[in-house]
Amino acid sequence: YAKINISSCFETCFDEVDFSYGELVGTILNHATFRRANLYKIDAKQADCTGTNFSNANLTEGNFEKAYLEDANLSEVNARNADFTDADLTGATLLNGDFTDANFTGAKLDNVVWTGAKVEGAKFDENVKEQILKMI
């Protein structure tokens, strides 16, 4: 598995790459692309993925705890059981993504696009899930 820890990868293309079980801890991945990439069980704690495109990627069981995902594109991702605890998803697009059983506890969710997203069983801070369900 791949390890890219505490590195800088600006506008880097990782489309269709298999990063399953890999590590991206503390890495700066601003405006990178991971379209259709396999990030199954990725450890991306504290990664800076501002503006990164994850569309159609597999993020199942990925760890994005305290990650920066501002303005990231998570359209049509499979993020079942992913951990977004304390992550910043301000302005992110989660259009038609599968976030079943994902953990958004403590996450910043301002201006997130939730249209068509699946959030069954997902964990949110108190009173947040009701607001999100109105935006789906």
For residue 2, what pLDDT is reported? Answer: 82
What would the pLDDT profile of 78-125 be if each residue is shown by its tens digit?
Answer: 999 999 999 999 999 999 999 999 999 999 999 999 999 999 999 999
pTM: 0.94
Res 67 pLDDT > 90? yes
CATH code for the domain in which residue 102 is found: 2.160.20.80
Res 5 pLDDT > 90? no
| 117: containing domain | 1-136
For residue 24, what pLDDT is reported? Answer: 95
- As for how many domains the chain has, the answer is 1
For all residues of the chain together, what is the average pLDDT? 96
DSSP assignment string, 36-94: T-B-TT-B-TT-B-TT-B-TT-B-TT-B-TT-B-TT-B-TT-B-TT-B-TT-B-TT-B-
